[in-house]
């Protein structure tokens, strides 16, 4: 197959897989290389895919963060680290990870996770497990502690969001 036909084939197969799921540039480069396209073909295809907007790392990062935040209950730090692991640059990952609506929204999500978890916070051991649970999901220590305190005290969530 001539070089331009190979490049067109790489673009077509990339577009086909993008119909199934969003990918970032780094993931698409690996995906195409695994399908035995040359480095030149991959780079030419990537230039066209990025230039046309078919691949957009900013969009990918934003959608990934929204999904992980809402569907998996991840905190800002876990989202940021996962994006960087997927090949998103640090600045883009930081913006996308953010706190998704600010401190109050992140605190509300953390409280919701604890409530859905359904484990009591009756003693130091259960509070320590809850703290570990939230920090593993990417919530900062201070925010996780505030969520535990709010849940433990059984106070309405909106009291923590003033200001």
The pLDDT value given to residue 156: 41
- Residue of 138, 107, 141 whose CA lies nearest to 127: 141
The pLDDT value given to residue 64: 94
The domains found in the chain, sorted by start residue, are 3-55 (1.10.10), 58-97 (no CATH), 103-160 (no CATH)
In sign, the C-alpha dihedral spanning 28, 32, 33, 37 is negative
The pLDDT value given to residue 151: 87
Q: Which residues of the chain have pLDDT under 70?
A: 1-3, 99-101, 153-163
Q: Which long-range contacts (CB under 8 A, 24 or more apart) does 42-50 make?
A: 42/10, 44/7, 44/10, 45/7, 45/10, 45/11, 45/14, 48/11, 49/11, 49/14, 49/15, 49/18, 50/25
pTM value surpassing 0.75: no
What gap in Å lies between CA 116 and CA 50, rounded to an integer? 40
């Amino acid at each position: 197959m001539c070089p331009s036909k190979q490049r067109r084939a790489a673009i077509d197969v990339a577009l086909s897989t993008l119909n199934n799921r969003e990918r970032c540039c780094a993931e698409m480069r690996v995906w195409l290389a695994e399908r035995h396209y040359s480095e030149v073909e991959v780079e030419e295809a990537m230039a066209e895919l990025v230039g046309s907007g078919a691949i957009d790392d900013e969009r990918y990062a934003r959608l990934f963060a929204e999904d992980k935040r809402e569907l998996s209950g991840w905190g800002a730090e876990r989202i940021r680290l996962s994006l960087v692991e997927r090949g998103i640059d640090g600045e883009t990952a930081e913006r996308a990870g953010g706190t998704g609506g600010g401190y109050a929204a992140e605190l509300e999500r953390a409280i919701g996770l604890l409530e859905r978890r359904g484990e009591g916070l009756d003693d130091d051991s259960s509070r320590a497990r809850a703290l570990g649970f939230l920090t593993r999901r990417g919530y900062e220590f201070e925010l996780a502690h505030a969520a535990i305190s709010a849940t433990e005290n059984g106070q309405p969530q909106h009291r923590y969001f003033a200001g």
